[in-house]
Amino acid sequence: MSPARSPGTRKAAATTKASKKAPTSKRAAKTEVLADQPATGHRGDLLEAMLRIRRFEERCVELYSAAKIRGFVHLYIGEEAVAVGVNETLTPEDAVVSTYREHGHALARGIPAEAVMAEMYGRTTGCSAGRGGSMHLFDASRRFYGGSAIVAGGLPLAAGLALADRMRGQNRVTCCFFGDGAFAEGEFHETANLAALWNLPLLLACENNLYAMGTALAREHAQTDLAMRAASYGMPAWAVDGMDVEAVEQAARRATEGIRAGTGPHFLELRTYRFRAHSMYDPDRYRDKAEIERWKTRDPINQLMDRMRENGELGDKELAGIERRVTEEVDGAVEAAEQAPEPLVEDLLRYVISTSAEVS
């Protein structure tokens, strides 16, 4: 998906699972949703959107190693199918609340790579004017209400956005991304309870990558079926193969259509995996290397490319074209960021404290 195009504007595939009834709260699906086969052109868009995120983040690794990007950086490599698949089902009027692992969400939402990269550099042309960096991307014009350094911190905010839409009679969806670590926080349970109680138009998208920072899911949760636990709040909830972008899109479309129909909040447990460490500072000693390699065999980008090749939808020429466009886009973003101005020292307290004129 090109950043110039708003997410969710393309037509859904003619034959998807969207028409099927979503699992009820009494019966959370334990079988992961599998993908049907959408149109060729659409698959190409999905592939390009995932490659944009992958190449962008690979460049961030290089720039961070060269000390051109500072601070904390949490990479999304391996989880691209989640951001792309879910955002395909959202409209420009919907809202997205993200986490500190948010580059993929921002790019999939349509924030230009230039604006995201400039923010990584801390430049004034960044989407947060260089004040947020990697963990605090924000773009109100695209209703992307940023990342949060607080685990589960975005959940109450998302509930507030959804409540405002419901009170105003606006048929919009608020999508909140969060990790499995947030499931252990009180904010998740408070938000899930209120969302179900008030019938809020909220999509709870749990990116279950099996590790809350460095703690394995089974060491933190006595019951690791997160979808089943979410269903106990009285909302439709099911698990999805988060390494299959088409499966994610179909599941998210079922959920968003249900929400728009007035059936209240929905929960998706998107079973995925990050190939990189928790952050660039993390030595990643809590995972077995063989486990990481096993998950890499399910790389969402490679899976989609293989599927397209098998169906005669992707050749070397087409793939080279996608790679060229994405590379040029990322190269241009880096060049623009390096030429953009840094924030002025005299503006350090701007947006932090108010002047007397602003207060009066």
One-character DSSP codes across 125-137: TSTTTTSSGGG--
Q: What angle do CA 271, 289, 249 make, to 5 degrees?
A: 20
Do residues 340 and 112 lie in contact, with contact meaning Cβ atoms separated by under 8 Å? no
DSSP string, 261-273: TT---EEEEEE--
- The band of 358, judged by pLDDT with boundaries at 50, 70 and 90, is low
Cα-to-chain-centroid distance, residue 354: 33
| Whether the predicted pLDDT of 25 surpasses 80 | no
Tokens of 267: 């929960």
Per-residue pLDDT reduced to its tens digit, 47-65: 999 999 999 999 999 999 9
Which residue from 204, 201, 85, 93 is spatially nearest to 143, judged by alpha carbons? 93
| Mean of pLDDT values over 142-151 | 92
Rounded mean pLDDT of 210-233? 94
Compute the average pLDDT of residues 227-235: 97
Cα gap 242→209, rounded to integer Å: 9
pLDDT digits (tens, 9 = 90+) for 300-354: 999 999 999 999 999 999 999 999 999 999 999 999 999 999 999 988 888 888 7
pLDDT tens, residue by residue, 87-115: 999 999 999 999 999 999 999 999 999 99
> Which of 327, 252, 246 shows the shortest CA–CA distance to 45?
246
- In this prediction, residue 80 carries a pLDDT of 98
CA atoms within 13 A on the CB side of 44: 17
Least confident of 34-38, 204-208, 351-355: 34-38
